[in-house]
């Protein structure tokens, strides 16, 4: 229906909605991602800088690691603490998280590479090339790059596995604060991963404990379980703190005298009846303790509190107890000793008990730790980290996590490539040759843009180390044109060398996953040409009837989001 020959205006979105679309929106998204790249690219490589980040609570974090894994509590890292608000740039946080979850290393590389791909194809978008054509070209180049990596990767199935894994771990640590102590920590990391069940390699069974004070070299590898002394009651110090071949019982039972008046209402008419109730309360706890004593266990652990009565009871019978043991520590004790968690004290059989060769309580720095060593089913271990500052130890933990994940993936996927930009330069040279010979149409320039974007890795490695990037990249191009597949940056002599012979190794899976994740992120950002932002929640409401001017706005500012109106 027409009104006076004019089509009526139809309002679909609410007033105040911000709507941006078209080529300008794509370019805006690309520029936002390049802003993120500018922040983190200086952290790449063995000479990358660290970043000091301060969260909303004023807590500082010193790191050059931008994975955002949730495996460790408070794993605060660059991409997480930047608190990116631009919706397109937040995709970079997602690919850093996926790279960390899948491989555990290369999180900086994947973000830098994704941004560089967008930077190289920005010219095509500005010239009016359809984003669909650009995306098709990028995906084709990505598939070719992945196939090339699989073709040139070197198998490590033969030779000394332990030495190979140590070299891979050392490369993963080369850009971390602990690279000067890499010989010490690579042995620790490889021992930790090889102590796990080789079928599933669950890295969560590697416990990491942090104790402030001391030197890095005082860090310990425990082939078993160690956890900090738990909260204790009177009588704890009278308990023995060392056993040989003890039986261990693990509980999910509260061993504390509980007054039944908290759980039930009891009416009595005589004092003797009240005394019977009190005696029953004591009898309940004593029956539990006697049942535990009869099992022959010398170490009693529980996830729930063990009160002063039970603590003194065990001390009188030369039994060690610890209550409020963390769930992950309890799980690792069960995994190592063969015990199983019991929810009752009255039906514990010998098969439910665990054992170890040696249990003792030792002082480490200012903390006391319980050690379970020589465990018969030790499919778990513990790393006790020492260091001068809390932030430094936290960074050591993040560095070890990356190395552990690299070693884990290398055991499952026994192929490696050379690092130091060698792999990226070889793929770049291959894509340039392929595009010149086999692709005559407009996708040729897109594939060449992808190939050029790969050079950001060796270029940034040079920039961060203070080298002449232009000179070294030209020398690398010449070497790869001659057929020197593994020519990469030599950080010791500021030159070019064969990084495979120099033992600068990385799992091929790191490179494959980084290229795939970076390409998918770039394609996703290029495919978004419209952003709709609903501003309704930010609009101040009009004053309600009966309120003085400005009262509604003051009420809105004073009311927390999600709280009901009065």
Answer yes or no: is pLDDT of 433 > 50: yes
Query: Does 295 share its domain with 267?
Result: yes
Neighbours of 413 (CB within 10 A): 16
Strand partners, 211: 386
Which range marks the domain in which residue 109 is found?
Answer: 18-155+418-530
> Would you state the pLDDT for residue 557?
39
CA distances from 526 to 13, 88, 116, 172, 291 (A): 24, 10, 13, 31, 67
Looking at the domain assignment, is residue 7 inside a domain?
Answer: no
Predicted local confidence at residue 531, as pLDDT: 65
**pLDDT interval class at 72 (50, 70, 90):** very low
Q: Rounded to an integer, what distance in angstroms lies between the CA atom of residue 63 and that of residue 41? A: 13
345 within 8 A of 196, measured Cβ to Cβ: no
End-to-end CA distance of the chain: 46
The predicted-structure confidence for 252-290, as pLDDT tens digits, reads as follows: 988 887 655 566 677 777 777 777 777 777 888 888 899
- 339 vs 51, 128, 285, 298, 377, CA distance in Å? 44, 67, 23, 13, 10
- Residue length, the chain? 566
3-state helix, strand, coil in the chain (%, to 5): 50, 15, 35
Residue 316 domain-assigned (yes or no): yes
Is the residue at 559 inside a domain?
A: no
Looking at the structure, do residues 317 and 356 belong to the same domain, yes or no? yes
Per residue in 332-365, is it b (16+ CB within 10 Å) or e — as a string? Answer: bbbbbbbbebbeebeebeeebbbbbeebeeeebe
Q: How confident is residue 453, by pLDDT bands cut at 50, 70 and 90?
A: very high
Lowest mean pLDDT among 62-71, 145-154, 328-337, 494-503: 62-71
Give 426-430's long-range contacts (Cβ < 8 A, gap of 24+).
426/148, 426/152, 426/480, 426/485, 426/486, 427/145, 427/148, 427/149, 427/451, 427/454, 427/515, 428/452, 428/454, 428/455, 428/480, 429/477, 429/480, 429/481, 430/144, 430/145, 430/148
Triad 155, 158, 164: Cα angle to 5°: 75
Q: Are 177 and 50 in contact (CB under 8 A)?
A: yes
Q: Which tokens belong to 559?
A: 């009311």
Same domain, 255 and 286: yes
Residue 563 has pLDDT above 50, yes or no: no
**Structural domain tally of the chain?**
3
| pLDDT higher at 551 or 205 | 205
196 domain residue, yes or no: yes
Candidates 214, 156, 153, 221; CA nearest to 404 is 221
Q: Which residues pair with 506 in a beta bridge?
A: 417
Same domain, 256 and 370: yes
Residues 194 and 237 in one domain: no
pLDDT at 512: 92
pLDDT of residue 65: 60
Residue 30 belongs to a domain: yes
Query: What is the average pLDDT across 454-473?
Result: 91
> Are residues 421 and 467 in contact, defined by beta-carbon separation less than 8 angstroms?
no
Q: Is 535 contained in some domain?
A: no
Instruction: Look at residue 312 in the predicted model and tell me its pLDDT.
Output: 92
> What is the H or E stretch that residue 426 is in?
helix 422-438
Q: What is the CATH number of the domain that holds 494?
A: 1.10.560.10
Could you give the angle at the alpha carbon of 515 between the alpha carbons of 425 and 174, nearest 5°?
65
Q: Would you call 53 exposed, middle or buried from its count of C-beta atoms within 10 A (0-12, 13-18, 19+)?
A: middle
What is the structure's pLDDT at 263? 63
477 and 400 together in one domain: no
Is residue 361 within 8 A of residue 299, CB to CB? The reply is: no
**What mean pLDDT is reported for the chain?**
81
300-319 pLDDT, tens digit per residue, is 999 999 988 899 999 999 99
Nearest to 487 by CA among 417, 547, 549: 417
Model confidence band, residue 149 (pLDDT cutoffs 50, 70, 90)? very high
Please give the share of the chain, as a percent, with pLDDT higher than 90.
29
Q: Which residue has the higher pLDDT, 541 or 122?
A: 122
Phi-psi region at 15: left, alpha or beta (left = phi > 0; alpha = psi -120 to 50): beta
> Are 360 and 235 part of one and the same domain?
yes
Is the Cα torsion angle 101, 431, 485, 488 positive or negative in sign? Answer: negative
Q: Is the pLDDT assigned to residue 547 strictly greater than 90?
A: no
Q: Is 60 exceeded by the pLDDT of residue 1?
A: no
Sign of CA dihedral 493, 499, 505, 511: positive
User: Can you give the pLDDT at residue 71?
Assistant: 36
What is the pLDDT, as a whole number, of residue 47? 75
Q: How far apart are CA 420 and CA 499, in angstroms?
A: 7
- Sequence-separated (6 or more) residues with CB below 8 Å from residue 312: 233, 234, 235, 238
Compute the average pLDDT of residues 445-451.
92
- Alpha carbon 160 to its chain's center: 29
Please tell me the distance from the alpha carbon of residue 422 to that of residue 428, in angstroms, as a whole number: 10
For the ranges 74-83, 368-377, 403-412, 445-454, the maximum mean pLDDT occurs at 445-454
Same domain, yes or no: 100 and 177: no
pLDDT for res 179: 79
* 147 and 36 assigned to the same domain: yes
Predicted pLDDT at 16: 45
Q: Is 31 exposed, middle or buried (0-12, 13-18, 19+ CB in 10 A)?
A: middle
Phi and psi at residue 458, to the nearest 5°: -65, -35
Phi, psi of 361 (to 5 degrees): -110, 125
Look up residue 9 and give its two tokens.
Answer: 């205006």
Exposed / middle / buried, residue 542 (Cβ in 10 Å: 0-12, 13-18, 19+): exposed
Q: What is the pLDDT of residues 18-71, one digit of tens each?
A: 445 667 778 888 888 888 788 788 888 777 777 776 766 767 776 666 543 333
Residue 363 to residue 368: CA distance in whole angstroms: 4
Q: What is the DSSP letter of 203?
A: G
Count of C-beta atoms within a 10 Å radius of residue 59: 13
Alpha-carbon separation of residue 554 from 545, 557, 559, 562 (angstroms): 15, 5, 9, 16
- CA 390/CA 513 separation, integer angstroms: 32
* Cα–Cα dist 395/61, whole Å: 8
Assign 166 to helix, strand or coil: helix
Same-domain status, 371 and 489: no
Tell me the C-alpha distance between 564 and 566, whole Å. 6
* Residue closest to 170 by CA, chosen among 103, 105, 226: 105
Cα 127 from Cα 51, distance rounded (Å):
37
Same domain, 506 and 482: yes
> Residue 80 domain-assigned?
yes
Average pLDDT value for residue range 395-399: 85
- Residues 235 and 313 reside in one and the same domain: yes
Report the C-alpha gap between 189 and 385 in whole angstroms: 12
pLDDT at 452 exceeding the cut of 80? yes
Between 442 and 262, residue with greater pLDDT: 442
Could you tell me the CATH number of the domain that includes residue 338?
A: 3.50.7.10
Model confidence at 143: pLDDT above 90: yes
Does residue 46 fall inside a structural domain? yes
């Amino acid at each position: 229906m027409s009104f006076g020959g004019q089509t009526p205006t139809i309002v679909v979105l609410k007033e105040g909605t911000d709507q941006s679309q078209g080529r300008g929106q794509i370019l805006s998204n690309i520029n936002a991602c390049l802003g993120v790249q500018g922040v983190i690219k200086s952290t790449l490589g063995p000479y990358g800088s660290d970043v000091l980040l301060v969260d909303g609570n004023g807590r500082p974090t010193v790191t050059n690691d931008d994975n955002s894994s949730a495996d460790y509590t408070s794993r605060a890292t660059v991409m997480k603490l930047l608190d990116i608000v631009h919706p397109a740039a937040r995709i970079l946080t997602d690919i850093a998280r996926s790279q960390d979850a899948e491989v555990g290393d290369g999180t900086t590389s994947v973000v830098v590479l994704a941004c560089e791909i967008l930077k190289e194809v920005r010219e095509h978008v500005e010239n009016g090339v359809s984003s669909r054509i650009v995306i098709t070209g990028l995906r084709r180049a990505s598939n070719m790059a992945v196939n090339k990596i699989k073709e040139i990767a070197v198998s490590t199935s033969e030779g000394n596995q332990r030495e190979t894994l140590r070299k891979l771990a050392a490369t993963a640590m080369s850009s971390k604060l602990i690279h000067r102590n890499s010989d010490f920590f690579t042995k620790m990391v490889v021992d930790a991963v090889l102590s796990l069940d080789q079928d599933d390699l669950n890295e969560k069974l590697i416990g990491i404990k942090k104790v402030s004070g001391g030197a890095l070299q005082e860090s310990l590898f425990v082939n078993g379980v160690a956890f900090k002394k738990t909260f204790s009651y009177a009588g704890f110090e009278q308990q023995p703190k060392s056993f040989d071949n003890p039986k261990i019982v693990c509980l999910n039972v509260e061993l504390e005298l509980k007054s039944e008046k908290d759980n039930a209402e009891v009416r009595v008419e005589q004092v003797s009846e009240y005394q019977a109730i009190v005696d029953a309360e004591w009898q309940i706890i004593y029956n539990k303790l006697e049942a535990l004593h009869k099992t022959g266990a010398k170490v009693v652990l529980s996830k729930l509190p063990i009160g002063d009565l039970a603590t003194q009871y065990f001390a009188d019978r030369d039994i060690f107890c610890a209550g409020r043991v963390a769930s992950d520590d309890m799980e690792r004790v069960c995994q190592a000793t063969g015990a199983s968690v019991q929810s009752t004290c009255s039906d514990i059989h010998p098969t439910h008990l665990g054992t170890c060769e040696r249990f003792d309580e030792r002082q480490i720095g200012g903390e006391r730790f319980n050690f379970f060593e020589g465990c018969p089913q030790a499919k778990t271990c513990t790393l006790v980290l020492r260091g001068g500052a809390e932030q430094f130890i936290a960074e050591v933990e993040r560095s070890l996590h990356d190395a552990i994940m690299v070693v884990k993936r290398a055991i499952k996927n026994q192929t490696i490539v050379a690092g130091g930009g060698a792999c990226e330069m070889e793929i770049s040279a291959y894509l340039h040759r392929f595009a010149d010979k086999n692709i005559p149409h407009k996708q040729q320039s897109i594939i060449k843009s992808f190939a050029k974007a790969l050079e950001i890795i060796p270029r940034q490695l040079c920039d961060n180390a203070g080298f002449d990037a232009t000179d070294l990249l030209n020398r690398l191009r010449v070497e790869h044109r001659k057929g020197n597949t593994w020519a990469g940056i030599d950080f010791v002599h500021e030159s070019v060398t064969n990084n495979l012979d120099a033992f600068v190794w990385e799992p091929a899976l790191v490179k494959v996953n980084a290229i795939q994740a970076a390409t998918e992120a770039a394609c996703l950002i290029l495919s978004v040409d419209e952003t709709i932002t609903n501003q309704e929640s930010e609009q101040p409401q009009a004053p309600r009837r009966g309120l003085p001017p400005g009262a509604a706005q003051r009420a809105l500012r004073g009311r927390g989001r999600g709280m009901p109106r009065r």
